[in-house]
Amino acid sequence: MHENQFDPQILDKIHLLQEKFKASGQDMLSYLEGLLYADYLTYWEYINLDVLLALQQPKTSFKDEKIFIIYHQITELYFKLIISEMEQIADEKPLSQDFFKNRLERILMYLDHLISSFAMMWKGMEREQFLKFRMSLLPSSGFQSAQYREIELMATDAFHLIEFKSRADFDYHSPTDDIFEHLYWQQGAIELATGEKTLTLKNFELKYGKKLKDLIENYRRKNLWQRYMELEKPETELTELMKQLDLKANVFWPLAHYKSAVRYLQRDPVDIAATGGTNWQKYLPPRFQKVIFFPELWTEKEKEEWGKGWVVKEIFGED
């Protein structure tokens, strides 16, 4: 090929580029000049590494506080991945069972990572350090994780997330404001002595209340459960994945988390108060809350026993 001749493949690409720019009324020459001066992309810019590594700002000088911050951030990133998969299931039209299963499998994989890595919390920090630095974090709490609430509200009809004792009084048609006030976590963060919402909850509602109510409305017809119900004949394999999701999200993750609370906050004779002010011994264990995304997929006995066997064996070391 002569020195001044272009490789035909390059010419092809130039033609394609020309069509692209022409279609949007852009001047290709200016873009080519831009390319000439543009720097090569680097790894650190692409993933925004400097920003990412600047996001760990401990409130105290206890070294283990950094672990606490980073693990929360890791968890929030996994939550973001889970939400992204849930959005895809919600918006896919038409929704094939293969697509549904594939996205559920990804969600389960993320949850598996979260469940097994929780050991970083329950055995990865010095208790003495934790008990000190946590006092500088009042009244914040993981309770205020909006993405955790989003995952719940995108998974199922919101009335399934009502506090256990009044759950039967609500159904698909209950108004959003009414449902919102009775969500299990709203009731979990009410001070027993005064009947008032904790400051942790008030701050959370101020920032995210509107967004979460909008989400309840938007997902009434497209949460995972509704999309599953739309299917004429769900495959057994898909149903099994839905049940796995229910167990991992509502039994195994909460128990891995609860194990941390027990490890750091359990003390005889009086347990240590949580930063978010809940009665955590009664609030966190799945056997009390009985949050179940897909109750229709479980037998009465399974619902009755929700979270029981594992808690006793894993946390208290009994059979």
Residue ranges in contact with ligand HEM by CB under 6 A? 71-72, 75, 121, 141-143, 145, 148, 185, 257, 260-261, 264-265, 274-278, 280, 283-284
φ, ψ for residue 285, nearest 5 deg: -65, 130
- Beta-carbon neighbour count of residue 195 at 10 Å? 7
Smaller CB separation from ligand HEM, 117 or 239: 117
Check the CA dihedral 301-302-303-306 and report its sign: positive
Q: Give min distance, CB of 182 to ligand HEM, in A.
A: 14
Q: Is the Cβ–Cβ distance between 257 and 284 less than 8 Å?
A: yes
| Distance of alpha carbon 106 from alpha carbon 124, whole angstroms | 27
Q: Name the nearest CA neighbour of 239 among 106, 92, 88, 101.
A: 101
Is residue 217 packed enough to be buried (19+ CB in 10 Å), middle (13-18) or exposed (0-12)? exposed
Q: Give min distance, CB of 75 to ligand HEM, in A.
A: 4
Smaller CB separation from ligand HEM, 228 or 283: 283
Smaller CB separation from ligand HEM, 212 or 265: 265
Smaller CB separation from ligand HEM, 69 or 238: 69
Q: Give min distance, CB of 83 to ligand HEM, in A.
A: 13
Q: Where are the alpha helices (DSSP H) in the chain?
A: 8-23, 28-37, 43-46, 49-53, 64-91, 97-117, 119-122, 127-133, 146-155, 176-181, 184-188, 199-218, 224-230, 236-247, 253-265, 280-283, 286-289, 300-304, 308-310, 316
Smaller CB separation from ligand HEM, 62 or 71: 71
Q: Give min distance, CB of 26 to ligand HEM, in A.
A: 44
Q: Give min distance, CB of 178 to ligand HEM, in A.
A: 20
b/e burial code for range 239-249 (CB count within 10 A of at least 16 → b): eebbebbbbbb
Q: Give min distance, CB of 186 to ligand HEM, in A.
A: 10
Smaller CB separation from ligand HEM, 28 or 137: 137
Q: Give min distance, CB of 24 to ligand HEM, in A.
A: 43
Which two structure tokens, joined as six digits, stand for 158?
Answer: 């919101």
Is residue 3 packed enough to be buried (19+ CB in 10 Å), middle (13-18) or exposed (0-12)? exposed
Smaller CB separation from ligand HEM, 71 or 159: 71
Is residue 28 packed enough to be buried (19+ CB in 10 Å), middle (13-18) or exposed (0-12)? middle
- Based on its alpha-carbon atoms, the radius of gyration of the chain, rounded to whole angstroms, reads 25
Q: Give min distance, CB of 133 to ligand HEM, in A.
A: 11
Smaller CB separation from ligand HEM, 100 or 110: 110
